A and B are shown apart, each in its own frame.
Chain A
Amino acid sequence: MIESKPASVAAELEEPVRAARELAKALGLDPYPVNYWIVDYDEMNQLIAYQGFQERYPHWRWGMGYDRRRKQDRFDVSRAFELVNNDNPANAFLQESNSLADQKAVITHVEAHADFFKHNQWFETYGPEEPGATAMLARHADRIREYMEDPDIDCEDVERWIDHVLTLADTIDQQRPRPIRELSVSSPEEPDVTDDPMPLGEFDLSDEVRDALFGDEFDAGGDEGVVDERASESDVLAFLWAHGMQYDQDRDRAVEMTGWQRDVIEMLRAEAYYFAPQRMTKVMNEGWSAYYESLMMTGEGFAEPDELVQYADHMAQVLGSPGLNPYKLGMELWAYIENTTNRREVLERLLQVKGISWRTLRNVVDFEEIRETVAPPPALARITAETLDDLAQLDDQFVDEDALCRARSGTIDVDRYPWKVLTFSGLARRNYSLVKPQYRGFLQRVSDAELERIHRYVGETDRYGSIEEALAAVDYTAGWRRMQEVRESHNDVTFLDEFLTREFLEDRQYFTFEYSYLSDGFHAASTDYEDVKRKLLLSFTNFGKPRITVADGNHENRNELLLVHHYNGIMLDLDQARDVLERTFELWGRAVNLKTVVKQVDDGELKRARREQREPEHREQGLMLRFDGDEFSTSELPWDAVEGIISREYDGTQSPNWHR
């Protein structure tokens, strides 16, 4: 157990925590309340191993994570690690040895996460409502520990069972709205596998209520594990919970699962759903937090000048870490959304000036002048106790009159917290993206196609008499408000799909790589926008994993389980798939089958390809893997047997062609 001291102990951090919350709200964020905890280095590593919670069920893989973290640490120099869990209130952990600059960075980052948890719709599917995530995970820990300590249950059996279930923890239906259904209705013998998306919360239902809610659908799992052949279930764990049996070695046949076995499936499934939204929004969520952290720390001077260097240094390390970096990609995409929205807003206004059309705009408009016009006025850009009079002269949409008054009286330290006297609009204007040095040129880089598209949707083309008049009407909050909308409704897949545009990728150096049979290594394959995007989406769709669903619980009329792999052009890792099937057998109790498509390269073709110095052509072949508890059998399927499981949503059929 971890003993933590509430942040109040560290008086030093009280003020930053309060100020960060205020600033976050001023910037339009609306986070869950956050409890900050100060922990030492080892506690931090433990919390990381437990995925941000103080208590988890006993399992070796937490130990593995902890062990790795410790070993990795020896080589890791940047130690500021932000850890916050999705709960209401959220819990965030600050490592006591961090410098104040690091603590501030973590706090601002955490506030943005807490906003994201609260407002992204994917988190609603399993939001931390009563009794809360911390409580749920602690309860699971208690229950599983009880099972392990029960003298009638072999503790290693429990561990093995957990292992079995975990191998399928990603085969849930994370896309379904409100997927968490209470599985333990009344008695485990009469499970609920309806597709009713009704959230039942974690409470017991009486039979009456249950019948009223589900009616006849309840018979699904009634007789001896005979399952409706029509069953098609993306939530494999739920299906196994309902219809699975355990294999009894001594009697050599399937027998009903025991209560604890079913309970373990249910708990681990609930946890899988709880963690799913964070995994589905990794790029968005980390990008969002990195964006707001940076805005608060540097844009609004949350870091003191002397802390700024250290902060910038750490930030550079985080964003510069090698490989595909979700922080960096996400942050850049958010900035891109902000920029494109702001650009669109400005251009829309300009296209409503009498006499300006998308064809003439470039000739009529001096972009440099426009940037000067939309740049924040000096009184807004630099606010000190001495400049308050100038601030008062500005449009009141930018200035919080009330706060200004308090600043004049000295209640607000405006030198330290200039943002306190500004409104949301004022802050937007002050941090307006299009005038930042790094985005210079973004405005005029708009393509003609984009201009034309904007023009098409402009209703009134003679709305403004002059460019000045049009620019005076610009809404400086457009970018931020758009970001807020996007953070509500998207997940990583839709986010990347919509915003990872050709323009975005143009300035960046992403490339795809593919395997080469000839060199038995990987080679850069393409820098083409379409290819890169397709490959990126592959890593994010369905957690970057192949989609596996239950097709039949009474396959061949023998009560065998049939899983199908929805082949999208990328084949399965068959070795691992076999290992998973062995474990699935334990949860089904009877033979298990997996239908899939593999790519094969025959030896003759490989030789020819070698000779001709090209990559070999592969052949797609339907396969059925079957595990009966003792051994595997593999049979080739005719093409029409697998056509139904093929989707070309990701077309990975092209082979790399750099040799030609």
Chain B
Amino acid sequence: MGLRDDLRRFEEVGEERRDDLADFIRYGDLGPSDAERVRIPIKIVELPEFVYDFRDRGGVGEGDPEPGDPVGAPEPGDGGDEPGDTPGEHGHYEMDPAEFAAQLDEALGLELEPKGKAVVERTEGAFTDRARVGPDSTLDLNWLFREALKRKLVLDFDESFMREVLRVEGIDPDTAYRWAREERIPVGRKWLVDEYADIPCEERDRWPSIETVEAELGRTPIVERIRREGFDHLPIRREDERYRHPEIVEERQKNVVVVNIRDVSGSMGADKRELVERTFTPLDWYLQGKYDHAEFIYIAHDAEAWEVDRESFFGITSGGGTRISSAYELAQERLEAYPWTEWNRFIFAAGDSQNASRDTADRVIPLIENINANQHVYLETRPGERAGLGRHARALTDHFEDAEDVVVSVVNRPDDVIEAITEILTREGEET
């Protein structure tokens, strides 16, 4: 109570005021987030107040800079403010990748079910599975009885009632049988014929109609009859014999390895880099949140490829030409540590579709065909271009036209990002 309620209420308020997830991905500041924490700006988490314009206000710092030296932005709470105000903690809704994935599912209507691959455990569960053979001591008597009871319920009918039906004027075994069928009474024709034969002639028109029989005698539902009279025998059958044995539980860990490949050659300017980051980062969070265990490989390439860490991946620019296959070669080599039988693999490559001549057809396409993966993605980014796909992307599209596991997507503006992410993740979901 008390503070717990306040905390819950804060979480609700924070939720309401959080930036729309799609907006955040398209335009939001990804800076404060890292691999483990997704930090989404909250529109107004603090109540507004009359304050100075923070630029105009400037401030006082301690240290020994020369006038003109750049200093960090002033921290809110400088000076007369309350203690405990934490600069930098302001205005963010924090979630882990799992929550992010769940929220993105909801926001974009995704239904990606991660596949378990590596079997990490087999355990004996409770004795809940049944087999047709087994030691006598494990014979499931409950099961046997229940099946017999079910059978009885299905086969049983009110015999005395049916005998009276046969005593209705104008009824013979055939008409009685047809009537019983309609009434869903599980009576056999043979039984009717035998019983009819036993009825003395003078009794055969005791009742003017079936309705009179029903009115006089009534039909007693079987459950009631069993309850009242018990049953003298149960139709126990050998085929119902079951032997209990422990359930085998297979824990499959859902592992994923994601290879992020980016063209870092000179033609990949700041705007292209940002578009790639806006697409890849949410994908990484999403997959990390969806799988039990996620590993990431970041490969930068120009004409050569090399592995980098996450922090520097989106910032790098180099000179040089472009040879996309260099990255796939490195990816293939690195993926040897992640066997396809045990790992889900996603390979996301991004660039502006420029590639060394013949490299796409001669090297990249065979490599893509050779590298097993849940999905190969090529993300083309060519802001300002209106003329359809670039060379590399078009070659991939033409070649992999019908392949479910190769996706080519285009992001030329921040507005395209969500569509690309949706396309990539939806295609994965469809694949079987």
Contact = CB atoms under 8 A, between A and B. Distances in A.
Q: Which of B54, B59, B81 has the most CB of A within 10 A?
A: B59
Contacts of B72: 522
A492 B51 CA distance: 19
A553 B418 CA distance: 50
B61 A511 contact: yes
Contact of B5 (A58, A325, A511, A571): A58
Contacts of B50: 170-171, 545-546, 548, 565, 572-573, 576-577, 580
B56 interface: yes
Contacts, number: 205
Interface residues of A, number: 78
A513 interface: yes
B69 A523 contact: yes
B48 interface: yes
B284 to A, nearest CB: 23
Contact of B74 (A72, A513, A519, A545): A513
A405 B51 CA distance: 61
Interface string B72-85: 11110011111110
A556 to B, nearest CB: 22
Contacts of A652: 56-58
Nearest to A65: B84
A373 B360 CA distance: 90
Interface in A262-311: 279-280, 282
B74 A55 contact: no
B62 A508 contact: yes
B194 interface: no
A573 B73 CA distance: 16
A513 B75 CA distance: 12
A62 B75 contact: no
Interface in A480-538: 492, 508-515, 519, 521-527, 532, 535-536, 538
Interface in A151-167: 159, 163, 166-167
B61 A513 contact: yes
A269 to B, nearest CB: 15
B136 interface: no
A46 interface: yes
A617 interface: no
Contact of A544 (B7, B44, B79): B79
A576 B48 contact: yes
Contact of A515 (B12, B48, B56, B64): B56
Nearest to A51: B82
A324 B10 CA distance: 29
A65 B74 CA distance: 21
Given A522-B72, A573-B52, A72 B89 contact: yes
Contacts of B398: none
B11 to A, nearest CB: 7
Contacts of B84: 48, 65, 68-69
A588 B161 CA distance: 84
Contacts of A61: 6, 10, 47
A512 B80 contact: no
Nearest to B52: A570
Contacts of B75: 323
A522 B2 CA distance: 42
Nearest to B9: A60
A168 B81 CA distance: 16
A166 B46 CA distance: 10
A59 interface: yes
Pick the most buried of A50, A170, A573, A580: most chain B CB atoms within 10 A of its CB. A573
Interface in A566-607: 570-574, 576-577, 579-580, 583, 599
B49 interface: yes
Identify the interface centre among A170, A526, A535: most chain B CB within 10 Å of its CB. Answer: A535
B3 A66 contact: yes
Interface residues of B, number: 55
Given A66-B7, A544-B80, A576 B49 contact: yes
Contacts of A532: 60
Contact of B89 (A71, A323, A508, A538): A71
A519 B326 CA distance: 39
A539 interface: yes
A539 B60 CA distance: 9
B415 to A, nearest CB: 25
A554 B240 CA distance: 91
B58 A514 contact: yes
A72 B79 CA distance: 20
B79 A540 contact: yes
A535 B59 contact: yes
B49 A170 contact: yes
Contacts of B61: 323-324, 510-513, 524
A62 B78 contact: no
Nearest to B72: A522
Given A513-B71, A513-B74, A573 B65 contact: no
A49 B80 contact: no
A658 B67 contact: yes
B247 to A, nearest CB: 41
Given A55-B2, A521-B73, A512 B58 contact: yes
A282 B85 CA distance: 14
Contacts of A1: 1-2
B124 interface: no
Given A63-B6, A163-B47, A521-B70, A511 B65 contact: yes
Contacts of A658: 67-68
Nearest to A62: B6
A543 interface: yes
Nearest to A513: B71
Given A68-B86, A523-B71, A512 B44 contact: no
A64 interface: yes
Nearest to A275: B82
B216 interface: no
Contacts of B14: 64
B51 A573 contact: yes
A501 B59 CA distance: 18
Nearest to B6: A63
A535 B53 contact: no
A415 interface: no
Nearest to A322: B62
A525 B67 contact: yes
A479 B29 CA distance: 53
B79 A571 contact: no
B74 to A, nearest CB: 6
A599 B14 CA distance: 33
B93 to A, nearest CB: 11
A164 B89 CA distance: 23
B386 interface: no
Nearest to A282: B80
B62 to A, nearest CB: 6
Contacts of A565: 50
B13 interface: yes
B78 A599 contact: no
B94 interface: yes
Contacts of A168: 49
Interface in A306-324: 322-324
16 contacts: A63-B6, A72-B89, A166-B47, A323-B78, A324-B59, A324-B60, A511-B60, A513-B74, A522-B58, A523-B68, A524-B61, A525-B67, A543-B81, A544-B52, A546-B50, A570-B53
Interface of B: 1-3, 5-14, 44-45, 47-75, 78-84, 86-87, 89, 94
Smallest CB-CB A-B distances: 10 pairs: A539-B79, A63-B10, A579-B48, A63-B6, A658-B68, A63-B7, A515-B55, A544-B80, A524-B65, A60-B9
Given A68-B86, A510-B60, A536-B79, 7 more contacts: A279-B80, A324-B62, A325-B62, A511-B63, A544-B78, A576-B50, A658-B68
Interface of A: 1, 46, 48-50, 55, 58-69, 71-72, 159, 163, 166-171, 279-280, 282, 322-325, 492, 508-515, 519, 521-527, 532, 535-536, 538-540, 543-546, 548, 565, 570-574, 576-577, 579-580, 583, 599, 652, 658-659
